[in-house]
Amino acid sequence: MITLIVLLLSLTFAGLTLAVFSIANTVDQTSVGFIYLGNYEEDQFGSILTREINTWKQNADYRIEYQDYTYVIDLDVLEFDLNQTLTNINRDQDNQAYFVISSTNRLDLQNEIIAHFTSPITSTLDVNTFFEDLLSDFSDLRNRKVYNLVDYLDESVEQTIIYQSEINLLLNADVEKIISEVTNIQISANERFSLLDKIGDLPLTNEQMSIIASGIQSISVNTNFSGFIFEQNYTLPVWAGPGQNVRILKVNQFDFTFFNNFDYDYQIEISKTNDTTLEFSLIGYPLITSYNTVPVFQVEIPFQTIYLDNESIDDLTPGVIVTETDTEYIYQLLIQTGVPGQVDFFIRTETRLGETPVSTKLFDEETLPINAIYYQNIVEK
């Protein structure tokens, strides 16, 4: 019994001793954001906070981003409210800093954001929510914050029609089949788009797939999309043309691909204009940078002249061309006019706001020549 009593007294004494020392050695955890105040008296808080906030403003990075444009926010637009911060400090807690923004600074910052990202895009900007988030992040003294402009735009902005193009002279059967199978195709953000990956499993012919690819090509060249890889039709179908000429062969893996290097998805909508015409629309967040792609002639490919024997033509044949030599008469009748082919480079001119335009080659197209064909009859004198 004596031993147990001694043991209990020893344990009690040890517990009390540890408790006293633990209380005596407790560290004051008072702070404002990352600024630690636990080692200071309250009358020192003001000078410490003022000094550290000024240092923080010099090093913090706050910016707004949209596509490949960035606006760096001047942190001096918000003023540190020392009195309110001191009033709301609670000992042994992590407290927030208080900032205010004057109506003048608020309007100036709003106008600079609109000017930087252009008014058509920022017309639906939710200014109130943005400034609420800005003040909240300031109160936590975050060192770095990137605001995505699209988070503060109305959802309708994402439905902007950027470009539209039509493909006509189509067979009605092709128009109806395409519309019945696909009316919307997504171009994913920061990915390489592949037409075969998107719709290659649909029951569409190579011709119908080629029509879709060509329509997408025509609305994609004047965008930020790059790295176009495709095969072309060297003999143009009636519906094809420059910058609207892609050949798809599923078995041979003739695909149409390009890269979308923006952080936003885009949509391609296909609609029927009439029985022989399809309209292609590129829909998504509008572009700030201007893109203009044009074919630039490089070299001509000469055509050949082919003569087909035809003894039925003579000097009485309408449109006949008669050439006389010392030994014979040559009768020729043009049945197909020759058209030279050519090679064009499609050059995109990219013009960023306030910068010098930059031109780059997207791809090249080769148009094969159309041979001239004559009926010919040679009669000896």
My answer on whether 214 and 227 are in the same domain is yes
My answer on whether 253 and 310 are in the same domain is no
Q: Output the CA–CA distances (angstroms, integers) from residue 148 to 121, 159, 176, 264, 286, in the order listed.
A: 13, 18, 41, 11, 15
> Which two tokens mark 303?
């055509």
Tell how strand 184-187 and strand 35-36 pair up: unpaired
My answer on whether 171 and 266 are in the same domain is yes
Dist CA 30 CA 86 (whole Å): 12
Domain boundary among 234, 265, 287: 287
Residue 249 lies in a domain: yes
Domain boundary among 117, 136, 153: 153
My answer on whether 91 and 109 are in the same domain is yes
My answer on whether 201 and 83 are in the same domain is no
- How many angstroms separate the first and last alpha carbons of the chain? 151
> Which two tokens mark 33?
């954001």
My answer on whether 258 and 137 are in the same domain is no
Which are the contacts of 168, defined by CB distance < 8 A and separation ≥ 6? 239, 273, 276, 277, 278
Residue 11 lies in a domain: no
My answer on whether 276 and 368 are in the same domain is no
At 25 the pLDDT is: 47
My answer on whether 165 and 149 are in the same domain is no
Q: Are 85 and 43 in contact (CB under 8 A)?
A: no
Residue 3 lies in a domain: no
At 1 the pLDDT is: 76
My answer on whether 140 and 36 are in the same domain is yes
Residue 146 lies in a domain: yes
Residue 8 lies in a domain: no
Dist CA 187 CA 282 (whole Å): 10
My answer on whether 161 and 282 are in the same domain is yes
At 29 the pLDDT is: 85
Mean pLDDT, consecutive 10-residue stretches, the chain (381 aa), reads 69 59 61 91 93 94 96 95 95 94 96 94 94 95 96 95 96 97 97 97 97 98 96 92 95 96 95 97 96 95 95 92 92 95 96 94 93 95 84
Residue 25 lies in a domain: no
At 26 the pLDDT is: 58
Q: How many domains does the chain have?
A: 3
At 216 the pLDDT is: 98
Q: Please report how many Cα atoms fall inside a 13 Å half-sphere around the Cα of residue 165, on the Cβ side.
A: 22
At 255 the pLDDT is: 97
> Which two tokens mark 158?
């994402």
My answer on whether 70 and 35 are in the same domain is yes
Range of the domain at 279: 157-287
**Does the predicted model carry a pTM greater than 0.95?**
no
Which are the contacts of 43, defined by CB distance < 8 A and separation ≥ 6? none
Rg of the chain, C-alpha, whole Å: 37
Domain boundary among 237, 256, 287: 287
Residue 339 lies in a domain: yes
Max CA distance (Å), the chain: 152
Could you give the 3-state DSSP secondary structure of residue 314?
coil
Residue 217 lies in a domain: yes
* Domain CATH number, residue 356: 2.20.230
Q: Are 289 and 351 in contact (CB under 8 A)?
A: yes
My answer on whether 171 and 276 are in the same domain is yes
